[in-house]
Amino acid sequence: MALRTSAALILFLLVCVGNLLCYAYIPKIINGRPTGGFLKGFLFHRQLPHSIQDPVTNELWFDQKLDHFDPSDTRTWKQRYFINKSYFKPGGPIFLMIGGEGTADPIWMSTGDWVENAKKYNAFCIQVEHRFYGKSHPTEDMSTENLKYLSSMQALADLANFRQNISPQFGFTKNKWISFGGSYPGALSAWFRLKYPQLVDGAVASSAPVNAVLNFKDYLRVVTESLATFGGPECNTAISQATEAIEQLLKTPAGRNLLKTNFNLCQEIDISNTLDISNLFSSFSGNFEGVVQYNRDNREFEHVKGTNITITTLCNIMTNKNYGPPIDRYARVNQLMLKTQEEECLDFSYKEMIKDLRETSWNSSAAEGGRQWIYQTCTEFGYFQTSDFPKQPFGHYYPLSISGQICMDLFGKKFNLNLTSAGIQWTNANYGALHLSGSRIILPNGSIDPWHALGVLSDISKDVKAVYINGTAHCANMYPAAASDPLALVLARQEISEFVGKWLL
């Protein structure tokens, strides 16, 4: 069965309910979120290593309120969480890993930099899954009516309620709490400390996009800059030349047939279908965007496909004249990504994408997280990665209007760009955007990561610190250390650990 791509970016396989490997017309990256969530990249079905199937990480369940802001609503649901008490000593701190827009993965209960800090500071580790993701289902389905209970404010209140009620159960009295998170959960970590400072004593907020924006055109700006940094300016030049060649071939039936063959497309190109054409160009740029976002992150332990493919890999192809003209090299990159993801062809039908993302059942492919994350971007954050940045090589075929169209087609006509803009305005007013107040918050960001454009890159105060890590990508500081890590990353991890230690004094 052929897989399909979307207007958001490119195709993916996803893990479905019941651990079945499913095929669906859902994008590999939706508004910057890869399948499985930000920390997993392109995730495929896998079995957990035996060491992870340990009693200390077995899933547990907490009775959570459905609506924290309506006292008359007494409905509850089961929220999943994991614990690891292997490193804990009496009086030690509680480390809270905040779940995000994907399934909470127990592999993180014994792996990653936060675990090294847990060993160092004798911490009790807890990971809480985000409402509406993974197995944490607050409602019977994902209908638009039910998704009104999906918001960052409800998620933060979940954490507060969990924190208050779980402490007596485990005998936590005067223990200090430190929250951790990466990407959207990184923002939640910072906001948890901001909104509930009496419940959490410090926050590590990695790659946190705390500044909500409607048109995230700087995403492609950073991608372009990162390609130039690691591949040289000739890499972007070759991509631009390939894009121009594609534009020329689209003008004739013979040219479109050639594109279908060379890029292994799943269907004929209908030049009058602008939404499909948008998806096509989005898919081509997506081949590079996902690689840039996770360039050389130490993600192998998550069993992610394609971790060996780096910016250098792609740019070496794009600049190798032995592979023919730039368009042939561009096609070679596309074939590499199809092969890596075990995809038969590249499908770019907008209609089919919307059809699959409209599914509301927890047993549907959309339940992997794509539908829920789009809802959050349409109502709270924007984060719409568009082709509107002028000096990028991928063409200008997926403007802001496409993102607005997706929101309306999935959730209804009222979910237009005006609604999104109002949601963004409230989000930034509520949390402070790039002007976070509060204290004991540290915000690491990588220079290669496109998301750093929405993060805090310089100290706000002596207690709200930025760590800008040159040469690293998305959430790099969270992954296990490797001998090949650049010095800047090694020093950043040390700095983060030192701050956590100070907070625990």
Give per-residue burial for 121-141: e unless 16+ CB within 10 Å, then b: bebbbbbbbbbbbbebbbbee
Nearest to 476 by CA among 442, 441, 448, 434: 448
What tokens were used for 109?
A: 């209960």
Task: Decide if 110 contacts 200 (C-beta within 8 A).
Answer: no
CA 310 to the chain's CA centroid: 18
Task: Decide if 135 contacts 129 (C-beta within 8 A).
Answer: yes
Per annotation, catalytic residue among 285, 449, 452, 485: 449
- Alpha helix ranges (H) inside 294-320: 311-318
- Give the containing element (helix H, strand E) for 290: helix 274-293
Q: Is 361 a catalytic residue?
A: no
Beta strand 29-30 with 33-34: parallel, antiparallel or unpaired?
Answer: antiparallel
Per annotation, catalytic residue among 110, 113, 474, 485: 474
CA 418-423-426 angle, 5° bins: 130
Find the Cα–Cα–Cα–Cα dihedral 276, 281, 283, 285, rounded to 10°.
Answer: -160
Task: Decide if 489 contacts 503 (C-beta within 8 A).
Answer: no
Q: Is 463 a catalytic residue?
A: no
What tokens were used for 224?
A: 């372009």
Q: Is 50 a catalytic residue?
A: no
Reduced DSSP (H G I as helix, E B as strand, rest coil) percent helix, strand, coil of the chain, to 5: 45, 15, 40
**415 contact partners, CB below 8 Å, separation of at least 6:** 378, 379, 407, 408
Q: What 8-state DSSP symbol labels residue 110? A: S
Per annotation, catalytic residue among 183, 364, 387, 447: 183
**503 contact partners, CB below 8 Å, separation of at least 6:** 176, 178, 201, 202, 440
Task: Decide if 124 contacts 95 (C-beta within 8 A).
Answer: yes
What is the residue type of 452? H
Q: What 8-state DSSP symbol labels residue 324? A: -
SS3 letters across 413-462: CCCCHHHHHHHHHHHHHHHCCCCCCCCCEEEEEECCCHHHHHCCCCCCCC
3-state secondary structure of 96: strand
Catalytic residues: 183, 449, 474
